Amino acid sequence: MVASSTGPARGLLYPRPDARHFAHARLLPAEDLRPWVEHFWAVRWDLREQPPFLQQNLTHPSVHWTFQDGTSRIAGVHSGRFSLLLEGLGGVFGIKFRPGGFFRFVKTPVSALTERTMAPAPLLGPEALALEAAILATDVTRDANAERVALAEAFLRARLPAADPNVAGVQGMVTRILEDRAVTKVEDLLTPGGPGLRTVQRLFRRYVGVSPKWVIQRYRLHEAAERLKEVPPPELATLALELGYFDQAHFIRDFRRVVGCPPAEYARRAPGPVTPARRASE
């Protein structure tokens, strides 16, 4: 039985088509793969009688392996938004590797993949083509997630990397960035007896593909996007301070550059929780 991941999907910017036309699942890997794989995911849609929909996401510091439209691709970390146009009938199945988790499968710096997508065979060998064919044979427009997960797990398990203390160290720092609001600069990650600043920066580029500063900023923008969905949204000056920005202007500039609009506009456009106040205004 495949366990589902039930936590919130951070990074989704705007509403998706309703459940009658769209299905999204996140599935946990087997225990032995969890140091490397965060989850599997599947998206299916039927918009044959609906207008096309542009799904926009704020990316994570993760490598993805996606299967769609008769092919598969390895995608490194993208610094901007990731957009996917949903139209007609379609589906995507994906593997989301944990930050730092993909490096040991390829043993080359993950920074070489940043801002890029590649065919998997040059990275993972010709057997990757057989996995692609097997997963796509299940028809990603239909619900066959347990079968796809089993196929992907068998492929990855046969190539299970040797233990690497750097992976655990980097993942621990990424988790701390995600969970600890007090981490607002790279120096906050340094500990007595631990790696120094330059070593931390080098480890992130090698194992994650981006700098620790980028990861800090990205997770803070994830949090900002979620907070701006609240009813009412927080004051921008207060939110900027909580996220570690020097001032409101810097926060607005970064948010607009990455999300594509100022925070106040996003708060007006983004869906929030259905509260009595929001329901009364709709």
Q: Final residue of a domain: which of 129, 157, 185? A: 157
Any domain includes 282: no
pLDDT at residue 121 in the model: 96
Nearest CA to 226 among 38, 78, 58? 58
Both 169 and 263 in one domain: the answer is yes
Both 42 and 153 in one domain: the answer is yes
pLDDT at residue 15 in the model: 73
Any domain includes 210: yes
Other residues' Cβ atoms within 10 Å of the Cβ of residue 190: 13
Residues in CB range of 137: below 8 A, 6 or more apart = none
pLDDT at residue 275 in the model: 36
Both 135 and 28 in one domain: the answer is yes
The 3-class secondary structure across 61-83, one letter per residue, is: CCCEEEEECCEEEEECCCCCEEE
Parts of the chain with a pLDDT under 50: 273-282
Domain that holds residue 214: 165-269
pLDDT at residue 20 in the model: 86
Any domain includes 12: no
Q: Is 55 helix (H, G, I), strand (E, B) or coil?
A: strand
Both 171 and 118 in one domain: the answer is no
Q: Is 93 helix (H, G, I), strand (E, B) or coil?
A: strand
Both 120 and 37 in one domain: the answer is yes
Secondary structure letter of residue 267 according to DSSP: H
Alpha carbon separation from 9 to 6, 67, 131, 236 (Å, rounded): 9, 20, 27, 23
Both 215 and 258 in one domain: the answer is yes
Both 125 and 185 in one domain: the answer is no
Alpha carbon separation from 259 to 13, 81, 249 (Å, rounded): 8, 7, 15
Q: Final residue of a domain: which of 157, 188, 220? A: 157
Q: Final residue of a domain: which of 124, 157, 190? A: 157
pLDDT at residue 16 in the model: 75
28 burial via Cβ count (<10 Å: 0-12, 13-18, 19+): middle
The phi and psi torsions of 184 (rounded to 5 degrees) equal -120, -5
Q: Report d(CA 145, CA 39) in Å as an integer.
A: 12
Both 145 and 199 in one domain: the answer is no
Both 178 and 235 in one domain: the answer is yes
**Bridging pattern class, strands 64-68 and 81-86:** unpaired
Any domain includes 3: no
CATH number at residue 213: 1.10.10.60
Both 105 and 202 in one domain: the answer is no
